[in-house]
Amino acid sequence: MEDAILFSEHEAVVVVDALKTGEEPFIFKKIKPIKNFSFTTHAVSPEAVAYLCRTLYRKSPELYILGLRGYNFEVGENLSPKAQQNLKEALSFFVKILKNVTPDRKISAIIKYLKEKSLKKEKRENPMEKSKKEVLVLEDILGSNKKVATSIRKKLEEHGILAVNLLSSPGSGKTTLLEKIGLRLKEKYRIGVIEGDIETERDAERIRKLGLPAWQITTHGACHLEAKMLAKIFDQIPADLDFLFIENVGNLVCPASFDLGETLRFVLLSVPEGDDKPKKYPEAFITSQVFVLTKCDLLPYLPFNVERVVKEALEINPKLKVFKSSALNGEGIEELCSFLESELEQRRAKNA
């Protein structure tokens, strides 16, 4: 009740909280009154307090939540270095809002103003460069994964960039395959790579050694990439790329459920993993357009039935294009690169 009274005394309310899950470094979004009460007042949501405020006092202040991503929630734990950085960025963001508060300007209007101001500054600093992050900073990054992925796909199509999302189990050879493809295509095309891993920048460092730009996304425990994670680094990606490869976190389950705005999705399966995987992990094969069998140089030494695995994959998804490859002896690399070149040419012609 006390919080409802406080809400009723203000035109705008920002609730600040620490979140165990969600986007880094913070989220800032508008919330609405909801009739949703718990058995303990220690767990009443801001939405429920706003509902009480509206019901009892006929007041509906503009309501937002500023949620800081946290990591350690044990009693007595200090802020981790990462959480301290998240707090710093959230504070900087909120100070910008406070500096623009006036009696006749709502927070939503301030956000719109700051976004427009940022875009104007970007155009002044880069008059010959098209904006690459127009709606991914303050608007789409707060939306659903589907909404953000749609925005990313649209932006990539506008610039004629072919984006490939690679899914596989850990150790199937995604990075090595990308190294071979990168070496084959880099003399003719501009290539960029996004590396997704739970920790470290090891894969990104391998790609950079080839002279190719690579951006690392570390998920700190999350088993997959999400479109929102890509949106946060989108302004770092050159608009004149031809190919953007996205190496997802090693996992055949979760990544299959998250659209990243890619043009094509590759699912990789290595010979050492066994030939029974397509029907065990069907979603990865159903949502992909290309199936790449890797480490085929090991076929003479392992009990692996190529006909069986291809048959099962095509039973799940008859439209799959299938490639056999070996990054060690070069098998299938030329065919894969030719396919990618053809796809780029066809899609650019279609969108012209």
pLDDT digits (tens, 9 = 90+) for 322-335: 999 999 999 999 99
Half-sphere exposure of 142 (CA within 13 A, CB side): 15
Query: CA 241, 216, 29, 9: dihedral to nearest 10 degrees?
Result: -130
- Interatomic CA distance for residues 232 and 228, integer angstroms: 6
At 59 the three-state DSSP class reads: coil
Question: Which pLDDT belongs to residue 39?
Answer: 47
Mean of per-residue pLDDT scores for the chain: 85
- Interatomic CA distance for residues 184 and 347, integer angstroms: 21
**Strongest mean pLDDT among 58-67, 235-244, 252-261, 263-272:** 263-272
- Ranges for all domains in the chain classified under CATH 3.40.50.1450: 2-107
Percent of the chain with pLDDT strictly greater than 90: 53
According to DSSP, the β-strands at 26-30 and 62-69 are antiparallel
- Interatomic CA distance for residues 68 and 87, integer angstroms: 7
- 147: tokens are 């909404």
- Interatomic CA distance for residues 309 and 276, integer angstroms: 7
The superfamily CATH assigns to domain 2-107 is HybD-like (3.40.50.1450)
The 8-class DSSP code of residue 327 comes to T
Question: Which pLDDT belongs to residue 24?
Answer: 79
- Ranges for all domains in the chain classified under CATH 3.40.50.300: 140-351
Q: Mean of the pLDDT values across residues 110-119?
A: 58
* 134: confidence class by pLDDT, cuts 50, 70, 90: very low
Cβ burial of 60 (10 Å; 0-12, 13-18, 19+) is middle
CATH class assigned to 140-351:
alpha beta
- Structural contact between residues 163 and 246, judged by C-beta atoms closer than 8 angstroms: yes
Output the pTM of the full model.
0.62
Weakest-pLDDT range from 91-105, 142-156, 196-210, 244-258: 91-105
* 136: confidence class by pLDDT, cuts 50, 70, 90: very low
- Interatomic CA distance for residues 45 and 35, integer angstroms: 10
Percent of the chain with pLDDT strictly greater than 70: 85
* 304: confidence class by pLDDT, cuts 50, 70, 90: very high
**Strongest mean pLDDT among 60-64, 215-219, 244-248:** 244-248
